[in-house]
Amino acid sequence: MKAVITDYQYESIETERSIIEGAGFTLKDYQAKETKDLIPAVEDAQAVITQYADINAEVISHMKQARMIIKYGIGVNNIDCEAAAKKGIYVCNVPDYGVEEVSDHAVAMILALGKKLPILTEAFRNGDWGYGSVVPLYRLSECTVGLVGFGRIPQMAARKLKGFGMRILAYDPYASEQTAKEAGVVLTDMEQIIKESDFLSVHCPLTKDTRHIIGREEFRKMKSTAFVINTARGGIIDEAALIEALKEKEIAGAGIDVFEQEPAGPDNELLHLPNVIATPHSAWYSEVAITTLQRKVAEEVVNVLQGNRPFHCVNGL
């Protein structure tokens, strides 16, 4: 049986190769991103491993033997999960490889923005000695963080933020009161989160329901002193509306790891606005996270090709 990797950005796939071939299967790797190149790559594969390639309904319709599609990561928004489910193909992810890293990244952005470190550094570089460039600055323990989505990553972020004494609200239509209570977090609606947050941090998946859930209207309702952080997916926040809100000073700043168009180029306006911290979809990365991710993807492939149910299936099969 054969597994294929449609695309990857790792230096080496030796871990995957040794686990998958060690179990008696074959592995072929591509750097295919477009439908026309993906179709011949996946046609006769039993397992399809993918990172950023668009695994749309057309590509899936050409899968003649696939049992599974597995994402190098958590967010499966580049895979048409429904089309796969209709063909009985499992869509799998690796939910637990980078929870610490992404929650650290969101918290680091909250702290750096809250202390206005990018502005202080730039002002100091230009000869401004003192705190004048960052007036007003608020005590973190008097601030409210609003989490949009309350899955694994924001739950861990909440525990870390509690250490700074911050009040934490969360909006997640599927989260349990019990989980929120144990984390010291108040579950509420989007309206309250938008209005009361000093830091609005986005952690839901990108789906039809969440596309642009934060846009022009929401920015207008936010505090002008508030910051927006997105380590989830570009497209959840309307990026054009965010740029406008930052320019119009409807909000105070942003921390953005994910973009509507990826890879984002140096011409992206967010990179050139003051008090924006922009990182290149790297929140997940650490040495431990990357090796864990590659190993767990390969182990799941072997698990399913050996005839077992997946450890982590996300399309309801």
* C-alpha distance from residue 64 to each of 8, 58, 68, 182, 237 (Å): 23, 12, 12, 46, 36
Active site residue 34: no
- Which residue's Cβ lies closest to ligand NAI? 151
From 14, 34, 262, 272, active-site residue: 262
Among 102, 145, 183, 245, binds ligand NAI (CB under 6 A): 102
Residue 70 contacts residue 50 (beta carbons within 8 Å): yes
> How many Å is the Cα radius of gyration of the chain?
21
Q: 165: alpha, beta or left, given left = phi > 0 and alpha = psi -120 to 50? A: left
Instruction: Choose between 172 and 300: whose C-beta lies nearer to ligand NAI.
Output: 172
One DSSP character per residue, 149-164 reads --SHHHHHHHHHHHTT
Among 38, 81, 92, 151, binds ligand NAI (CB under 6 A): 151
Q: How far is the C-alpha of 46 from the C-alpha of 66, rounded, in Å? A: 4
Binding mask 58-97 for ligand NAI (x = CB under 6 A): ---------------xxx-------------------x--
From 233, 239, 260, 300, active-site residue: 233
DSSP-derived 3-state class of residue 49: strand
Residue 78 contacts residue 71 (beta carbons within 8 Å): yes
Instruction: Choose between 81 and 175: whose C-beta lies nearer to ligand NAI.
Output: 175
Among 2, 33, 152, 159, binds ligand NAI (CB under 6 A): 152
Active site residue 62: no
Place of tokens 């702290």: 111
Residue 98 found at the interface with ligand NAI (CB under 6 A): yes
Residue 260 found at the interface with ligand NAI (CB under 6 A): no
Instruction: Choose between 56 and 188: whose C-beta lies nearer to ligand NAI.
Output: 188
- Angle, CA of 255, 190 and 165, to the nearest 5°: 60
Among 174, 177, 266, 267, binds ligand NAI (CB under 6 A): 174
Q: How many CB atoms lie within 10 A of CB 110?
A: 25
Q: How far is the C-alpha of 204 from the C-alpha of 170, rounded, in Å? A: 11
Active site residue 262: yes
- By annotation, the residues acting in catalysis are 233, 262, 281
Residues found near ligand NAI in the complex (CB under 6 A): 73-75, 95, 98-99, 102, 148-154, 171-175, 203-205, 209-210, 231-233, 257-258, 281, 283-284
